[in-house]
Amino acid sequence: MLFRSVISAGMIAGSMLVGTAATAAADPPGCTAADLANVMSGVNAGMATYLFTHPDVNNFFTGLKGKTREEMRTEISAYADANPQVRDEIAGVRQPAADFRDRCNAPLPEGPMG
């Protein structure tokens, strides 16, 4: 589910960047849709590695399957509060996406894990 959120966020940001092609010349270097795809592929690969090497965290996120978005948000928030080290490690993996959003003025909705 987290992967879907990350992928969805990347797709939304990509469409935002593509949709504003007319103003792309004013964007800082490294803020193209291709740059976003590159950043998100690294974040996705990092999350896969993190989840494969942390089976308990992987099991938690896998267990969210079939729940509503609101249920997922609530459970992820509670899990993050109960597991601050996991929250911080995931935030570290996702940091390049946050950096891209900040650098390229491409805000996306924040998830419960940052």
- Indicate if the pLDDT at residue 25 is higher than 80: no
Rounded to a whole number of angstroms, the distance between the first and last alpha carbons of the chain is 15
Q: What is the pLDDT of residue 22?
A: 47
User: Beta strands of 16-62 (E only): which ranges?
Assistant: none
- The CATH number assigned to the domain with range 2-20+29-104 reads 1.20.20
pLDDT at 55: 98
pLDDT score for 103: 92
Residue 106: partners with Cβ closer than 8 Å, 6 or more residues away: 13, 16, 17, 31, 36, 100
Q: What is the pTM of this model?
A: 0.69
Is 90 exceeded by the pLDDT of residue 14? Answer: no
56-90 residue pLDDT tens: 999 999 999 999 999 999 999 999 999 999 999 99
> Could you give the angle at which helices 69-82 and 84-104 cross, rounded to 10 degrees?
120
Q: How far apart are alpha carbons 109 and 82 in whole angstroms?
A: 23
Q: What is the mean pLDDT of the chain?
A: 82
Quote the crossing angle between the two packed helices 33-53 and 2-19, to the nearest 10°: 170
Q: Give me the mean pLDDT over the 24-47 stretch.
A: 87
